[in-house]
Amino acid sequence: MKIGGTPYRTIWPESDGAVGIIDQTRLPHAFETLKLATLEDAAHAIRIMQVRGAPLIGVTAAYGLALAVRADASDGGLESAAKTLAATRPTAVNLAWALNEMLQILRPLAPAERVAAAFAKAAELADDDVETCRRIGAHGKAIIEEIAGKHDRTLNILTHCNAGWLACVDWGTALSPIYQAHDAGIPVHVWVDETRPRNQGAALTAFELGAHGVPHTVIADNAGGHLMQHGDVDLCIVGCDRLAAAGDAANKIGTYLKALAAKDNGVPFYFALPLSTIDWTLSDGVRDIPIEERDARELTHMTGRAESGDIVTVQVTAPGSAGANPAFDVTPARLITGIITERGVSPASREGLASTYPEYARTA
């Protein structure tokens, strides 16, 4: 998407052989790009979250392996580089998946052939992700278009957390339909939940919507219910970290509360995700999806820009009070209007998902 009128992806090959990225640790207060020239640069970028979001982490690891084989294309070098990259974010499923895709291509090749093949495969993984997100957006845009057809005014769409292009290579998942609607001239305005405790909405979603020129307003996570009660939300679209085969959706903590309010006020509530996010082995998502408990410091402390321009971290809770920080919650299928993937929109139910994706459902 665009930043100040210039189209960007979150990762790209540079003409000098390096790999360019946006330093996301500096967002939203500064927009800076970086060049990754070595395996260690790529591993470092993943480790300290200069890149974040499952798809982008996977593609960065793929490019990291390409940078590694350029320095050492031997079997030993390849395997050692893959291990280094896999250890940067050990719980990221997409990271392991992307490295595996790369190794399957590279292992059978002679060392001399590996560099070109590695860069080509990394570029292919990036392009595949862009295409997946573009399709999610096209299906979601059709939903927005239909609702817009009923009103002669700007459509208000609420989103939670950041499921935008900054987490992917381009387009994003939940935000892809919004970008496509906006680019097509449908008047949309986005309510951006700030998304405590890590503020991905206030920082990243607001930044990327603003940079592309999409009208939006940041709100406290507490405000969505009130806005829905008063007719100020036409539609909710959020991303998804894991979808159970029965349609229950794990996403950033607080999503469930917004889905309850949407149901209570007759507002459609959609999850947008790539097919790869569906876990066909899980039936009861509320019971079975494990929820990560993260460091309470994410809640008790906040980082922002002081008047001096310095980035400062401050404690906002009473000294000595403990904090708890469950990072995700699960929205039961009964609260979900539909699941948007690259293949289309399906009901959030075992039958609905199975009929749209029969080849996967059979393996459950």
Q: How far is the CB of 211 from a copy of itself (least distance, A)?
A: 9
Would you say 110 or 316 has its CB closer to a copy of itself?
316
128 is a catalytic site residue:
no
Q: How far is the CB of 223 from a copy of itself (least distance, A)?
A: 6
Name the residue type at position 128.
Answer: D
DSSP, collapsed to helix, strand or coil, labels residue 155 as: strand
In DSSP notation, 37-80 reads -SHHHHHHHHHTTSS-SHHHHHHHHHHHHHHHHHH--SHHHHHH
Kind of pairing between the strands at 216-219 and 269-272: unpaired
DSSP, collapsed to helix, strand or coil, labels residue 193 as: strand
Would you say 300 or 346 has its CB closer to a copy of itself?
300
Q: How far is the CB of 93 from a copy of itself (least distance, A)?
A: 21
CB 168 within 8 A of CB 133: yes
Active-site option among 234, 241, 248, 329: 241
CB 221 within 8 A of CB 193: yes
Would you say 112 or 318 has its CB closer to a copy of itself?
318
- Please report which helix (H) or strand (E) contains residue 188, including its range: strand 188-193
Kind of pairing between the strands at 269-272 and 338-341: parallel
Residues 193 and 186: their CA atoms lie apart, in Å, by 22
Q: How far is the CB of 292 from a copy of itself (least distance, A)?
A: 12
Would you say 49 or 219 has its CB closer to a copy of itself?
219
Of 228, 240, 241, 265, the closest CA to residue 340 belongs to 240
Q: How far is the CB of 25 from a copy of itself (least distance, A)?
A: 14
Would you say 114 or 212 has its CB closer to a copy of itself?
212
Residues 63 and 65: their CA atoms lie apart, in Å, by 5
Q: Strand 11-13's sheet: what is its strand order?
A: 11-13, 19-22, 33-36
| Binding residues for a copy of itself (CB under 8 A) | 27-29, 191-192, 194-197, 199, 202-204, 206-207, 209-210, 216-227, 229, 252-254, 256-258, 260-261, 264, 286, 291, 299-307, 311-326, 328-330
Kind of pairing between the strands at 328-331 and 188-193: unpaired
Would you say 116 or 314 has its CB closer to a copy of itself?
314
In DSSP notation, 324-350 reads --B-EEEE-GGG-SEEEETTEEE-SSH
Q: How far is the CB of 129 from a copy of itself (least distance, A)?
A: 24
- Residues belonging to the active site: 241
